[in-house]
Amino acid sequence: MKESTTDKKAIQKDAQETAKKAELKSMPKPKKGKKKKHFVTHGQAHILATYNNTIVTITDQSGAVIGWASAGMSGFKGPKKATPYAAGIVVRNAVEKIRDTGLKSVDVFIKGIGSGREAAVRALNANGINVQQIKDITPTPHNGCRPRKVRRV
pLDDT at 21: 74
Residue 62 is assigned to a structural domain of this protein: yes
Residue 105 is assigned to a structural domain of this protein: yes
How many domains does the chain divide into? 1
Residue 13 is assigned to a structural domain of this protein: no
Cα distances from 18 to residues 12, 15, 26, in angstroms, run 10, 5, 12
Q: Shortest CA distance to 120 belongs to which of 29, 28, 22, 53? A: 53
Residue 25 is assigned to a structural domain of this protein: no
Q: Shortest CA distance to 126 belongs to which of 94, 83, 82? A: 94
Instruction: Domain of residue 119: give its range.
Output: 42-136
Q: 86 near 115, Cβ under 8 Å?
A: no
33-64 pLDDT per residue, tens: 666 667 899 999 999 999 999 999 999 999 99
pLDDT at 67: 95
Residue 146 is assigned to a structural domain of this protein: no
Q: Decide: pTM greater than 0.85.
A: no
Region 82-94: mean pLDDT is: 96
Over 60: is that where the pLDDT of 2 sits? no
Domain at 117, CATH number: 3.30.420.80
